[in-house]
Amino acid sequence: MRGCIICLALTSTVFGQQTPPSSATGGASVTLRQAAAPRMLIGTAVSSRSAANPKLASLIAEQFDCLTAENEMKPVSLQSMQGSFSFERAARIVAFAKAHNMQVIGHNLCWHSQAPRWLFQDGDGQPLPREAALANLKAHIEAVVKHFKGKVKGWDVVNEAVNDGPSPYLRDTPARRAIGDDFVVKAFEFAHQADSDVELYYNDYNIEQGGKRERALHLIRQIKAAGARIDAVGIQGHWQLESPAVAEIERGIRAFAGEGLKVMITELDVDVLPRGRGFGADVNATERQGSDPYRAGLPEAVQKKLADRYGALFSMFMQHPEVTRVTFWGVTDGDSWLNGFPVRGRTNYPLLFDRQMRPKPAFDAVIKALQSNKP
Ligand code: XIL
């Protein structure tokens, strides 16, 4: 199978060339990337297997102009064993993006989840001495950022360092235990040293809201005060039908833009299922049980609510020139991580395309919001 993404890329619909744009969307005349250009990039998370399905590959190529690897550029995917790098799957995503005139976002260089243990811990799970942990972090970032130089537009340098609760202000993680609070600043410095052209982002969930927003602002000011480069804040955007309020999200965008940074919505999806607790997108906060009310299909009324929610979000994004990219966390409802998080095995409907890859009313609402709010 290796290399097949490239063949598919060459045979599937290519945006901007003679082939009609919407084979995969049943004749819809405008695509997301057309409607958004040049105001913002419209991205999606993919895996290296996405292009094995020609219809899905074609849909991705026609609708999006930016890709994020959903899993395959995370530290555990690239360097699960110290010193042994696996770049093949990530390379397929980069090749697909190149063939379809898309940008690639690197996700991510430092996160407490999906990171190999050896980075910051010894064989007994104890924190490594600070200098050893810093050397590992530097070696990983240097190798990865240099490898993707010129291929990736920007990196989520640090993912989810801010604590959900007030104290301590950074999350208790292996990186922080081994290095201290300045592991964040160090990661930004190492990334910039490895490639002074690549954009650098801080990425997290719920940072648009309340106290977590204040802690994220504090962290951003620390990064800037240390003289490190930071270009944008990534607000993940794992949201629900009713919350957070659009006005609250807008306050977050204003706050980060006020720091002189671009703002990117980096992992957008809207969970339509009931939630037990308010843990946002904390990957550790799984639940055993939760109701699964829409197994047989999404009721019309909820479908409409979802469309209205997406329409309101994009109308608001368009008011803020600092919002330069919106990336969805997946393409179709069937492949969304929200079918398995926070409760396994449910039937969720968080994205713009249904399980048959057909555009939903939410797709039309996004197109309309993009078109009617163009500057
Ligand atoms: C998720 C992926 O979607 C899943 O496939 C994987 O099992 C766990 O990670 N915040 C992030 C993303 O920054 O990397 C996470 O992606 C979702 C939450």
Low-confidence spans in the chain with pLDDT less than 70: 1-28, 277-279, 288
**Whose C-alpha lies nearest to ligand 1, atom 5?**
337
**Predicted structure pTM score:** 0.92
Q: How far is the CA of 100 from the centre of ligand 1 (A)?
A: 24
Q: Is 159 in the pocket of ligand 1 (CB under 6 A)?
A: yes
Per-residue model confidence (pLDDT) at position 313: 99
Q: How far apart are CA 281 and CA 301, in angstroms?
A: 25
Strand partners, 155: 106, 200
Q: Give the C-alpha separation, 62 to 21, whole Å.
A: 6
User: Angle 210-225/183-194 helices, nearest 10 degrees?
Assistant: 50
The pLDDT of residue 265 is 99
| Residue 134 and residue 120 in contact, taking contact as beta carbons nearer than 8 Å | no
pLDDT at 162: 98
Query: How far is ligand 1, taken at its centre, from the CA of residue 24, in Å?
Result: 26
From the CB of 303, is ligand 1 less than 6 Å away?
Answer: no
- Rounded to the nearest angstrom, the distance between the alpha carbon of 29 and the centre of ligand 1 is 32
Distance 282 CA to ligand 1 centre (A): 9
Q: How far is the CA of 347 from the centre of ligand 1 (A)?
A: 17
CB 237 within 8 A of CB 207: no
Give the three-state DSSP class for 267: strand
Q: Residue 10's pLDDT is what?
A: 37
DSSP string, 187-237: HHHHHHHH-SSSEEEEEESSTTSHHHHHHHHHHHHHHHHTT----EEEE--
- CB atoms near residue 182 (< 10 Å): 16
The response to whether residue 338 sits with its C-beta less than 6 Å from ligand 1 reads no
- Centre of ligand 1 from the C-alpha of residue 71, in Å: 7
- In sequence order, what are the residues at sequence separation of 6 or more whose Cβ sits closer than 8 angstroms to the Cβ of residue 177? 120, 127
Q: Reduced to 3 states, what is the DSSP secondary structure of residue 92?
A: helix
Residue 71, ligand 1, Cβ within 6 A:
yes
Q: Which long-range contacts (CB under 8 A, 24 or more apart) does 79-82 make?
A: 79/116, 79/140, 79/143, 79/144, 80/116, 81/116, 81/118, 82/116, 82/118, 82/136
Tell me which residue has its CA closest to atom 7 in ligand 1: 337
Assess contact for 373 and 316: CB atoms under 8 A. no
Distance CA 362, CA 206 (A): 22
**Topology of the domain comprising 5-372:** TIM Barrel (3.20.20)
| Cα 74 to Cα 45: distance, rounded to the nearest angstrom | 13
| Residue 62 CB less than 6 A away from ligand 1 | no
- The residue whose C-alpha atom lies closest to atom 13 belonging to ligand 1 is 159
CB count within 10 Å of CB 77 equals 17
pLDDT at residue 277, rounded to an integer: 64
Dihedral (Cα; 115, 117, 121, 125), 10-degree rounding: 130
Q: Is the CB of 206 under 6 A from ligand 1?
A: no
Residue 337 CB less than 6 A away from ligand 1 = yes
Q: Residue 279 has what pLDDT?
A: 58
Q: What is the spatial distance between Cα 162 and Cα 168, in angstroms, rounded to a whole number?
A: 9
pLDDT of residue 284: 74
State which ligand 1 atom lies nearest to the alpha carbon of 330: 3
What's the CA gap between 68 and 59, in Å, rounded? Answer: 16
The verdict on the CB of residue 266 being under 6 Å from ligand 1 is: no
Question: What is residue 27's predicted lDDT score, i.e. its pLDDT?
Answer: 53
Fill in the DSSP letter of residue 146: H
- Catalytically active residues are 160, 267
